[in-house]
Structure 1
């Protein structure tokens, strides 16, 4: 996590996130963008490892940047940092490819620890958000408005994805919060093999992030 793009239209928030990111990763270099247009320009021109995205921007929602990033800069991780924490927005971000979701009302220490966890392969999700996501996963999809809003279209296949036994092993360890390196050690595999399995899992589940894979797998009954 060396090059970070902070996308927020509030200068004070940008300064705060720059300070927190510097504490989480002292070697990190931060660039700033105050709009979607500026963010696309900087992402296209630079080599970033991470983008911290606000939702409410002058020219649209930061969530609209997620599919663009998947198409043009798929190697850049995206973490939403917002004052909005409703279920629909959070799940839309995760399904859009965000690897984490943090709330601006969290303390600097909480934000720092969450961002620092990425260097160990973690997914930085605010504890309040994580608790609600777990409840959503445990609840039946029918009757929950947030899940119904973001659920896959009825036209999509309802058959569970066919994962190999090894892919299921990897996915179970992902769901437990282990990094790719820890999974490799646990299963006596190379890190490249684990990353290959992860890519196959993402493709089969039609997701773009670890959190999205766990959510989709649980929705399909592949995970408890």
Structure 2
């Protein structure tokens, strides 16, 4: 079973999320909190596998909560649920330690699968967020090659498009284990620990010479 905690200040949304996930297979609710401060008092005891966090909370923000608790719960995976698709908020959340980012308007039928994907090592993102990341990557200026193998470069392209590990395996016509091997080698070469760090590291301001990016398309 996947233990899920919810941090959401809107009581209606909070109740709907808890009720929906309680009916989903393989998921069990371990803590429902109305603020970052309330979550800080309960997350250690709840010991969730996945934490769903709204960004706009009373008091501390959801990003502050992720930044503070990501190191304290190293085995937990944090996923943002929000109405905001602002690029600064997206990257702030990812840099704080979020491994997934879903817009609330895209939730019906998607959330339970996204939680399972997150727990299995993926990084689920709403299609709009994936397009935003791709756009930011494409705006980055090119950098010298760091010696990525062709299959590693191909995998990086797929990750930048927000595809799951299974989707990467299907498109690359290989097994999930092979994808995971490529990912491990890719992360070692980039000195990162997640797809979002890889994308952020290969993204730079257009025209910038001080922060150059590795091209993601061939």
Q: Residue 8 of structure 1: CA displacement?
A: 0.9
Hey, what does 2:103 align to over in structure 1?
Answer: 103
Kindly indicate whether the alpha-carbon contact (under 8 Å) linking 1:98 and 1:209 is maintained by their aligned counterparts in 2: no
Hey, what does 2:188 align to over in structure 1?
Answer: 200
Q: Residue 195 of structure 1: CA displacement?
A: 7.5
After TM superposition, the structure 1 stretch with the greater mean CA deviation from structure 2, 32-41 or 160-169, is 160-169
Q: How many angstroms apart in 1 are the aligned matches of 2:44 and 2:61? A: 18
Q: Residue 107 of structure 1: CA displacement?
A: 4.3
Unpaired stretches in structure 1, ≥5 consecutive residues: 142-158
Kindly indicate whether the alpha-carbon contact (under 8 Å) linking 2:49 and 2:75 is maintained by their aligned counterparts in 1: yes
State the TM-score, normalizing by the size of structure 1.
Answer: 0.71
1:223 equivalent to 2:208? Answer no
State the TM-score, normalizing by the size of structure 2.
Answer: 0.73
Q: Residue 110 of structure 1: CA displacement?
A: 3.5
Kindly indicate whether the alpha-carbon contact (under 8 Å) linking 2:160 and 2:199 is maintained by their aligned counterparts in 1: yes
What does 1:25-104 correspond to in 2, within 5 Å? Answer: 25-30=24-29, 31-104=31-104
Unpaired stretches in structure 2, ≥5 consecutive residues: 205-212
Kindly indicate whether the alpha-carbon contact (under 8 Å) linking 1:66 and 1:97 is maintained by their aligned counterparts in 2: yes
Provide the secondary structure at the position in 1 that maps to 2:123.
coil
Q: Residue 182 of structure 1: CA displacement?
A: 5.0
Distance 1:160 1:16, change over 3 A: farther
Q: Residue 174 of structure 1: CA displacement?
A: 4.5
1:6 equivalent to 2:6? Answer yes
Distance 1:163 1:6, change over 3 A: farther
Structure 1, residues 84-142: CA drift from partner, whole Å, max 9, x if none? 2211111211222211111122242233443343355432211122222211221247x
Provide the secondary structure at the position in 1 that maps to 2:6.
strand
After TM superposition, the structure 1 stretch with the greater mean CA deviation from structure 2, 163-172 or 61-70, is 163-172
Kindly indicate whether the alpha-carbon contact (under 8 Å) linking 2:49 and 2:119 is maintained by their aligned counterparts in 1: no
Q: How many angstroms apart in 1 are the aligned matches of 2:177 and 2:116? A: 25
Distance 1:194 1:135, change over 3 A: closer
Distance 1:191 1:88, change over 3 A: closer
Kindly indicate whether the alpha-carbon contact (under 8 Å) linking 1:94 and 1:209 is maintained by their aligned counterparts in 2: no
Provide the secondary structure at the position in 2 that maps to 1:88.
helix
- The two structures, once aligned, show a CA RMSD in angstroms of 3.6
Q: How many angstroms apart in 1 are the aligned matches of 2:148 and 2:63? A: 32
Q: How many angstroms apart in 1 are the aligned matches of 2:79 and 2:108? A: 16
The structure that is helix-richer by fraction is 1
Kindly indicate whether the alpha-carbon contact (under 8 Å) linking 1:97 and 1:212 is maintained by their aligned counterparts in 2: no
